[in-house]
Amino acid sequence: MSNLEKMDPPAREYFHSLPASVQEQILQSGVTLTTKEELQSCYENLLKKNS
Give pLDDT, residue 49: 87
Q: pLDDT value at position 2?
A: 61
Q: Which residues contact 36 (CB under 8 A, 6 or more apart)?
A: 8, 10, 11, 13, 14
Task: Give me the domain span that covers residue 31.
Answer: 3-50
Higher pLDDT, 8 or 1: 8
Is a pLDDT exceeding 60 seen at residue 1? no
Report the domain count for the chain: 1
Question: Which of 31, 3, 34 minimizes the C-alpha distance to 46?
Answer: 31
pLDDT of 11: 96
pLDDT per residue over 2-49, tens digit each?
A: 678 899 999 999 999 999 999 999 999 888 999 999 999 999 998 998
